[in-house]
Structure 1
């Protein structure tokens, strides 16, 4: 755990999600500013870090295997490749109204991304184009 992790709310893992095929486990580690991708046996397949994405919290894997992650401190939502090794796109930022993105979910019926925010009363819905 990083050195800046010194308060009562410090935690090593924020969220975890399983790939649709069940062969990968994705884990957000906020204080380490990273997304880990693990194999079934627990071995690390990939570690994703990007200076533009800080304090990774919310995580969702769609039925198509798309990985969506919240950067709480950086106030953004990104899509990462299914290997968990590189950013594919920035889906939303502070310019889109994000203040403290903490949880994320994709709704395939409405084709939208739903974002819950920490200490903010608004749930945001973004239509995917």
Structure 2
């Protein structure tokens, strides 16, 4: 049976065995297996209106909370929040995209107002 899942943005794990999908209208991060089965459904008050998503080289998942004005880090299973990395107090207002640059140990956040924020990560994001 084919199920319909409202997809806003998606990212693939570096091992190609998981697909992470943001469902903005239901405030969920879904983790799917290769066969399309749902491995995990993540919700959290700090993640409202999830949008942009990125998988770090360590396999951790970074997600933009467009409505909650947050960037959160989730484990590679898509089950557990590891950290709130940035909030409105840090200048994150309507984040749309996120990316981790391991060479500069920085998180880049694209905002709705056509600007980009750069956050230095200390210590750098490493293995899961």
Residue equivalent to 1:126: 119
Distance 1:101 1:12 in 2: 20
In structure 2, runs of 5+ residues without a counterpart are 123-128
Please identify runs of 4+ aligned residues in structure 1 that moved more than 4 A. Answer: none
> How many angstroms does 1:106 deviate by?
0.5
| Aligned partner (choices 67, 77, 87) of residue 83 of structure 1 | 77
Distance 1:99 1:15 in 2: 18
Per-residue CA deviations over 1:54-94 (Å, capped at 9, x if unaligned) read: 00001000121010000000000000011101111000000
Residue equivalent to 1:58: 52
Residue equivalent to 1:24: 18
Distance 1:63 1:99 in 2: 26
Residue equivalent to 1:4: none
- The equivalences for 1:1-129 within 5 A come to 12-118=6-112, 120-129=113-122
- Count, aligned residues: 118
After TM superposition, the score normalised by the length of structure 2 is: 0.89
> How many angstroms does 1:35 deviate by?
0.3
The secondary structure found in structure 2 opposite 1:41 is: coil
Distance 1:26 1:47 in 2: 10
